[in-house]
Amino acid sequence: MKYIKFLLTGVLLGIVFSKSEIISWYRIYEMFRFESFHMYGIIGSAVILGSLGIQFIKWKEFKSIE
């Protein structure tokens, strides 16, 4: 019961990844052949959102989750 939030987060991420076709081998193949912008857009948005999230955490000076 203690780790249910991690399980639910993983299930949610799995659903999002499958709906956005990140786990499709064809999308990955297109990315490495530079034929599609789809994966680069997802990776770029993840980097931007991650850096903004880190800056927000530093700005608000959040403490540990525990």
Query: Cα torsion at 23, 26, 30, 31 (round to 10°)?
Result: 10
Q: What is the pLDDT of residues 19-64, one digit of tens each?
A: 988 888 898 899 899 988 888 998 999 999 999 999 998 888 877 7
Strands (E), 1-66: none
Return the axis-axis angle of helices 25-32 and 38-60, rounded to nearest 10°.
Answer: 90
**23 residue type, one letter:** I
Q: Hey, where are the domains in the chain?
A: 4-60
pLDDT for the residue 60:
87
Instruction: Give dist(CA 26, CA 19) in Å, integer.
Output: 14
